[in-house]
Amino acid sequence: MLRLELVNISKQYPAVKANDSVNLQVAPGEIHAVLGENGAGKSTMMKMIYGAVRPDEGEIRWNGQAVNIRNPQEARTLGISMVFQHFSLFDTLSAAENVWLGLDKSLSLAEVTQRMMKVEKEYGLDVEPLRPVHTLSVGERQRVEIVRALMTNPKCLILDEPTSVLTPQAVDKLFVTLRKLASEGTSILYISHKLDEIRALCTNCTVLRGGKVTGMVDPRTETNAGLSRLMIGAEPPQLKHQQAKLGDVVLDVRGLTLPKEDHFGMNLTDIRFQVRAGEILGIAGVSGNGQQELMAAMSGEDPRSPKDSMHLFGKDISRETPRERRAAGLHFVPEERLGRGAVPTLSLAANTMLTRTEAIGRSGWIRTGEVTALAQELIRRFNVKAGGPGAAAKSLSGGNLQKFIVGREIHANPKLLIVSQPTWGVDVGAAAQIRGELLALRDQGCALLVVSEELDELFEICDRLVVIAQGKVSPSVNTSDATIEMIGEWMSGLWNKNAADKETAHAQA
């Protein structure tokens, strides 16, 4: 008997038909991938299974019986749990309190905390139950969501881009967890744009394009190119990474030291690196090692940087505001799309004005025609699927909103662009487009600083790499001289050992 079945499911929104007569079959113990480009209808389909969205047509069957899942609580009662791509955590509560909200209230908070620690240890998911959510990085919040779902002992677990901000080591641990759950009979619906992951983990795959099913295949017998063709109708373009033509030093960080602002933060200690015009410097590291604090200092959100610790084109910007830094040519893309990169309830046109002020006159009047034209240009150039410039940011899929936010800053022709997690939750075609745009910006002479937890991405686009661990930054290494194994060691703070081993080997030679 099938665990879950969708029969001719459809969902119409005002601007788009998200799902059009979709069929899906999932057996007990099966890890089933759902693949499709951004806006293909994957998340809408998952939300209907979870009761967060009601279908217009069709039938959902659970263990062979037709069911009407009216809300997530009813879904959880059936045994369906979901980890959303956009997290549903309360920032002011602790991780344990967030998990407690979704569980049987017969358990005390102390019991939930103990169970979290047990699940965390059993599945290798590093979570601190007592930490307030607002102090967690995106990767750490992802782990809280996964632990919360696992604690419901689900019969069907839905994962929407679960590895988008996890390190390779964390991904390996998660896969062990998922295979164990599947062996115990749990059905897993797995949404990801990472084709290698799908081929390594999943036994079946349903492909969506434009809200319709375009194929059902065994991903283990398909190539990445074959899956790409099913998903986007073509193979993603190959990136052209030319030799860097280095210019002057644009950003010079000189011994930046910052104490953490709260108990759960990370101290930054003697951070030193330079970024030159015409190059991309990548920052690798496990989430929670100081990336958030460093990005806040770089962008100007944290105004506490010591004098002379940060220079842009030779000028000390340590105490300058984000607006002053933008005026000098520094643009920034934060890792959190909704709430920081964009205001969820505002239109795309209005969201351009968060960092782009060309359409605001000296007296403060907004030239709305120019604002709308800019949003329309970003939608066109970066192939954003949206209901036009007036569409609310929260109405876009995660990948399409990411394209819009990254495009907004690239289009500004920055002199220094700092990007955190540039392709988080973005399909293979859009990821290739964003990376290509970053390389094109570099070739035009822009300096780029890219923070990413995807090592493959950093190796693909960066000229040099540094690693951040425990609030300290390693020496830089040319990407051509680095290996994933070496960077993995450095993520544990072992760069001094690595350097010492090289010196020993050189001396023995």
Give me 478's structure tokens: 């040319």
Residue 502 has pLDDT above 60, yes or no: no
Give tens-digit pLDDT for 243-272: 889 999 999 999 999 999 877 789 999 999
Domain boundary residue, one of 181, 199, 232: 232
| Closest by Cα among 335, 333, 346 to 405 | 333
So what's the pLDDT on residue 496? 79
Look at residues 180, 214, 218, 212 and name the one whose alpha carbon lies nearest to residue 198: 218
pLDDT of res. 230: 84
Of 415, 432, 458, residue with least CA distance to 282: 458
One-character DSSP codes across 63-110: TTEEE---SHHHHHHHTEEEE-SS----TTSBHHHHHHHTS-TTS-HH
Asked whether residue 243 is assigned to any structural domain, the reply reads no
**Any domain includes 242:** no
Residue 499: predicted pLDDT? 52
Burial class (CB in 10 A: 0-12, 13-18, 19+), 445: middle
Same domain, 138 and 192: yes
CB-based contact 309:255 (threshold 8 Å): yes
Claim to verify: residue 271 and residue 358 sit in the same structural domain: yes
What mean pLDDT is predicted for residues 290-313? 96
Q: Is 283 helix (H, G, I), strand (E, B) or coil?
A: strand
Residues 204 and 259 placed together within one structural domain of the fold: no
Instruction: Name the band, by pLDDT with cuts 50, 70 and 90, for residue 78.
Output: very high
Judge if 276 and 373 occupy the same domain.
yes
Instruction: Please give the angle made by the CA atoms of 304, 307 and 309, to the nearest 5 degrees.
Output: 90
Amino acid identity, residue 509?
A: A
Residue 500, pLDDT > 50, answer no
Per-residue model confidence as pLDDT tens digits over 186-214: 999 999 888 888 999 999 999 999 899 98
Q: What is the pLDDT confidence band of residue 506, given thresholds at 50, 70 and 90?
A: very low
* pLDDT at position 427 over 50: yes
Contacts of 148 (CB under 8 A, 6+ apart): 83, 98, 99, 102
> What pLDDT band is residue 425 in, cutting at 50, 70 and 90?
confident
The answer on pLDDT for 477 being more than 90 is yes
Q: Is 179 in the same domain as 299? A: no
pLDDT band (50, 70, 90) for residue 376 = very high
How would residue 503 be classed by pLDDT, with cut points 50, 70 and 90?
A: very low
| Co-location of 326 and 198 in the same domain | no
Query: Band of the pLDDT at 489, cuts 50, 70, 90?
Result: confident
Let me know if residue 71 belongs to a domain: yes
Q: Assess whether 216 and 281 both reside in one domain.
A: no
Give residue 86's pLDDT: 66
208 and 278 in a single domain? The answer is: no
What's the pLDDT at 27?
A: 97
Same domain, 369 and 399: yes
Answer with the one of 232, 259, 292 that is the final residue of a domain.
232
Cα torsion 386, 392, 396, 398: sign: positive
End-of-domain residue from the set 198, 232, 266: 232
Give yes or no: residues 264 and 381 share one domain: yes
CATH number, domain containing residue 418: 3.40.50.300
Looking at the fold, whether 305 and 375 belong to one and the same domain comes out as yes
Q: Is residue 102's pLDDT more than 80?
A: no
User: In the chain, how many domains are there?
Assistant: 2
Is 241 a domain residue? no
Mean pLDDT of 373-399: 92
pLDDT for the residue 504: 42
Q: Kindly report, residue by residue over 307-336, the tens digit of the pLDDT.
A: 999 999 999 999 999 999 999 999 999 988
pLDDT of residue 408: 97
Name the nearest CA neighbour of 352 among 319, 312, 381, 320. Answer: 381
Domain that holds residue 463: 249-508
With respect to residue 443, please indicate whether it lies within any of the assigned structural domains: yes
Q: Find the helix packing angle between 428-443 and 398-410, rounded to 10°.
A: 10
- Please tell me the predicted confidence (pLDDT) of residue 122: 77
236 pLDDT more than 80: no
Does residue 69 form part of some domain? yes
Q: Could you tell me the sign of the dihedral formed by the alpha carbons of 128, 134, 140, 143, in that order? A: positive
Q: Which pLDDT score, from 0 to 100, does residue 269 have?
A: 97
pLDDT bucket at 164, cuts 50 / 70 / 90: low
* Average pLDDT score over residue span 131-157: 86
Residue 457 lies in a domain: yes
Q: What is the pLDDT of residues 16-75, one digit of tens each?
A: 899 999 999 999 999 999 998 888 899 899 999 999 999 999 999 999 999 999 999 899
- Reduce the DSSP state of residue 206 to 3 states and report it: strand
Name the least confident of 289-293, 396-400, 483-487.
396-400
Element (H, E) at 358: none
Q: What is the rounded average pLDDT of the residues 473-487?
A: 94
**Per-residue pLDDT band at 501 (split at 50, 70, 90):** low
Query: One-letter amino acid identity for 90?
Result: F
Q: Give the chain's radius of gyration (CA, Å).
A: 23
Q: Which of the residue ranges 40-49, 156-165, 170-179 has the most confident prediction, judged by mean pLDDT?
A: 40-49
C-alpha pair distances (Å), 423 with each of 20, 26, 227, 402, 435: 27, 29, 19, 7, 8
Classify strands 330-333 and 416-420 as parallel, antiparallel or unpaired. parallel
What is the average pLDDT score of the chain?
Answer: 90
CA pair distance 309, 258, nearest whole angstrom: 10
> What are phi and psi for residue 24, nearest 5 degrees?
-150, 140
159 and 25 within one domain: yes
Domain assignment present for residue 239? The answer is: no
Q: Which residues fall within 8 angstroms of residue 88, CB to CB, at 6 or more apart?
A: 145
